[in-house]
């Protein structure tokens, strides 16, 4: 079938499924519905052939299966997919989050900045209004108080007055727009630094929170919360793995536990564990960053105190950079507060996707199912295989990597999120791989294994087991993100070109209204000095060039003179040539000469006037 036709059809199915779920009381995002459609199509048990055009019956079956799975709130697989979609749509790393926060802040300040930079006050009252807007901008950009807090406004106005008096408004107005914006930023940092110093000296700053103390208390608390969730995940993952292994070893237990969705529950826990590890890593990074900022802030404040020391006047070049440095460090504290709030919200919101574990497997039921079953932790499984490794001589055409023979061994990119490449497709389990056994490098990709036997089995035919893992991911769609198999299912994404390479699920392309303006003359004017509008001048230059082509340069040397010096002779024969380029001509118009006689009157009462025309005829000129 035409893939493009099917993709158009699937988009229509997605809208249909979303409406059907909304009618039944479940409002779901389009991204979640799209992922579920792909999961159902991928599942080989549903017999959908993507190489053929979907019939109307296929469309109805696909929609019905998707609606059924989306409304099945007791399925851990659905909770896992919801968790993946939520994390992909909401998580952002430090750089992305801070960049977005800066963009939002600039958007909020844009009206104030425009009101300041675009104004051209002429009278004193207008200048005072602009000055008050500068106070508001400084207060909002620093984030240290609200414009409705009269005390905070007074502190900002006093600090601003000390570095930027109202009499300097005339100079400020004469600046270009870009220079005004830069000076506003500088003033905001200076005023923020002054307010922080005054707070340290207990001369104000009551509205400024003690961010270092808050962070020093909140970050360890957030880290402990994530650690507790991780420990619970580890325990559940170990128990589910033990139950699944017992099912494969004992047919009786298989019939007893087959009705439970243990694999789906295991994948849910493993995905939750992976996301918590990302959040824990970010929390540790924040803790390290705050520790560094505390040291730098205390040092900067101490240096500023030593510089000021109750002096009545200080050189601005000496003290202003210290105020700016304080402001920058405080901005970093504010960034860490934002990151901490984001991590806390992400941790709290992810918990809802793991609540299904306690519903499906209460503690009492899980304890009874585990009777007689040995539960091994991931660390214990790795310790059991410590000391065993692959014998490289047993494989002639395979490349194995070991810690002592490979540089940056700990930084190798392991496939399947570090899980055993053999156990996934064969057993359907996510067992931790032990790199000490040996890492198999196959087609520039690295694979780890949970045991020596699994490594030998996989190495016999890697492509076969890789395909088994792909088939297992088709059966359990949540494995696509858990095992990081997106590159193998890229063809199913209709808008792959719009996806971020660092993201795991498809995001809608962001849209916004924008406008642009082009200057009338974007390049400086260019005057071609060699341009000539007169064709006769061009002819003259052409004749000159033509004459130069016929000129020759001669040199002569004899046997008697070649030992003395070099002689050169050049002849440029004059040529008498004349050319007529134009003809001078002129014309003269006779000057009118008309005289009137008798205007002064005579002795007679009647005046007789006579007109005398002495103008020469044109023919005589």
> Do 218 and 235 belong to one domain?
yes
Instruction: Pick the last residue of a domain from 344, 370, 396.
Output: 370
> Do 177 and 228 belong to one domain?
no
Establish if 538 belongs to a structural domain: no
Higher pLDDT, 1 or 309: 309
Both tokens assigned to 571: 């002849």
> Do 353 and 466 belong to one domain?
no
Establish if 114 belongs to a structural domain: no
> Do 176 and 320 belong to one domain?
no
Higher pLDDT, 326 or 604: 326
> Do 283 and 432 belong to one domain?
no
Q: Which of 484, 70, 100 is nearest to 270 (CA)?
A: 484
Establish if 39 belongs to a structural domain: yes
Instruction: Pick the last residue of a domain from 321, 343, 370.
Output: 370
Establish if 552 belongs to a structural domain: no
- Please tell me the predicted confidence (pLDDT) of residue 208: 86
> In which domain, by residue range, is 31 found?
1-71
Instruction: Pick the last residue of a domain from 370, 387, 411.
Output: 370
The tens digit of pLDDT for each residue in 411-437 reads: 888 899 899 999 998 988 899 999 989
- For the cut 80, the answer to whether the pLDDT of residue 255 exceeds it is no
The continuous run of DSSP H or E covering 611 comes out as strand 610-613
Helix (H, G, I), strand (E, B) or coil at 399: strand
What pTM, to 2 d.p., does this model score? 0.73
Domain count, the chain: 4
- For the cut 60, the answer to whether the pLDDT of residue 233 exceeds it is yes
> Do 256 and 349 belong to one domain?
yes
The tens digit of pLDDT for each residue in 21-56 reads: 888 888 888 888 888 888 887 777 777 776 667 777
Establish if 612 belongs to a structural domain: no
> In whole angstroms, what is the distance from residue 470 CA to residue 457 CA?
17
Per the document, the length of the chain is 621
Establish if 307 belongs to a structural domain: yes
> Do 244 and 365 belong to one domain?
yes
Give the DSSP letter of residue 447. Answer: E
> Do 308 and 332 belong to one domain?
yes
> Do 365 and 382 belong to one domain?
no
The tens digit of pLDDT for each residue in 563-593 reads: 555 666 777 777 777 777 777 777 777 888 8
> In whole angstroms, what is the distance from residue 187 CA to residue 135 CA?
10
Establish if 25 belongs to a structural domain: yes
Yes or no: say if 264 and 270 are a contact pair by the CB < 8 Å rule: no
Residue 367 CB contacts under 8 Å (≥ 6 apart), including other chains: none
What distances in angstroms separate CA 213 from CA 216, 217, 301, 341, one per listed residue?
A: 5, 6, 16, 15
What distances in angstroms separate CA 70 from CA 87, 88, 497, one per listed residue?
A: 18, 19, 27
Q: Which of 42, 84, 82, 65 is nearest to 472 (CA)?
A: 42
The tens digit of pLDDT for each residue in 95-150 reads: 999 999 999 998 998 999 888 888 777 778 888 888 899 999 999 988 888 888 88
């Amino acid at each position: 079938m035409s893939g493009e036709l099917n993709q158009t059809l699937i988009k229509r199915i997605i809208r249909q499924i979303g409406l059907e779920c909304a009618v039944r009381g479940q409002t779901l995002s389009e991204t979640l519905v799209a992922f579920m459609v792909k999961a159902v199509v991928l599942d080989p048990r549903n017999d959908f052939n993507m190489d053929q055009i979907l019939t109307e019956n296929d469309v109805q079956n696909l929609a019905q299966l998707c609606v059924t799975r989306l409304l099945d709130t007791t399925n851990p697989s659905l909770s896992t997919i919801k968790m993946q979609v939520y994390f992909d749509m909401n998580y952002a790393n430090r750089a992305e989050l801070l960049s977005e926060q800066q963009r939002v802040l600039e958007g909020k300040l844009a009206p104030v900045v425009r009101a300041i930079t675009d104004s051209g006050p002429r009278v004193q009252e207008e200048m005072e209004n602009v000055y008050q807007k500068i106070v508001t901008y400084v207060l909002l950009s620093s984030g240290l108080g609200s414009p409705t807090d009269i005390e905070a406004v007074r502190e900002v106005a006093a600090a601003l007055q000390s570095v930027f008096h109202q009499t300097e408004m005339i100079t400020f107005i004469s600046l270009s727009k870009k220079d005004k914006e830069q000076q506003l930023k500088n003033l905001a940092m200076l005023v923020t630094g002054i307010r922080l110093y005054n707070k340290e000296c207990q001369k104000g700053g009551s509205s400024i929170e003690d961010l270092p103390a808050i962070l020093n208390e909140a970050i360890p608390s957030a880290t402990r919360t994530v650690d507790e969730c991780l420990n619970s995940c580890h325990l559940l993952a170990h128990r589910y793995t033990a139950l699944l292994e017992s099912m494969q070893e004992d047919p009786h237990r298989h019939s007893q536990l087959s009705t439970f969705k243990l694999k789906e529950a295991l994948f849910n826990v493993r995905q939750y564990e992976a996301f918590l590890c990302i959040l824990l890593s970010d929390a540790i990074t924040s803790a390290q960053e705050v520790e560094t900022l505390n040291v730098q802030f205390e040092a900067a404040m101490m240096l500023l105190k030593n510089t000021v020391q109750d002096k009545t006047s200080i050189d601005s070049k000496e003290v202003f950079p210290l105020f700016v440095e304080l402001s920058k460090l405080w901005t970093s504290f504010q960034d860490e507060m934002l990151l901490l709030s984001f991590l806390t919200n992400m941790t709290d919101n992810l918990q809802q996707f793991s609540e299904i574990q306690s519903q499906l497997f209460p503690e009492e039921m899980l304890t009874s199912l585990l009777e007689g079953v040995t539960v091994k932790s991931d660390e214990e499984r790795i310790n059991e295989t410590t000391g065993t490794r692959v014998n490289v001589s047993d494989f002639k055409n395979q490349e194995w990597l070991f810690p002592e023979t490979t540089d940056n061994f700990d930084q190798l990119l392991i496939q399947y999120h570090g899980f055993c490449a053999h156990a996934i497709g064969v057993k359907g389990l996510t067992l931790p791989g032990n790199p000490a056994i040996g890492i198999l490098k196959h087609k520039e990709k690295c694979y780890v294994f949970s045991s020596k036997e699994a490594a030998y089995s996989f190495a016999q035919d890697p492509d076969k087991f890789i395909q088994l893992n792909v088939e297992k991911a088709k059966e359990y769609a949540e494995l696509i993100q858990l095992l990081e198999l997106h590159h193998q299912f890229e063809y199913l994404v209709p808008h792959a070109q719009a996806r971020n390479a660092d993201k795991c699920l498809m995001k809608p392309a962001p849209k916004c209204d924008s406008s642009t303006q082009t200057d009338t003359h974007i390049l400086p004017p260019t005057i071609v000095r060699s341009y000539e509008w007169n064709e006769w001048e061009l002819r003259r230059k052409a004749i000159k060039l033509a004459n130069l082509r016929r000129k020759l340069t001669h040199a002569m040397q004899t046997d008697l003179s070649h030992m003395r010096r070099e002689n050169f002779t050049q002849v440029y024969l004059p040529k008498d040539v004349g050319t007529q380029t134009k003809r001078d001509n002129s014309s003269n118009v006779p000057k009118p000469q008309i005289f009137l006689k008798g205007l002064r009157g005579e002795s007679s009462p009647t005046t007789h006037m006579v007109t005398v025309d002495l103008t020469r005829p044109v023919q005589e000129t």
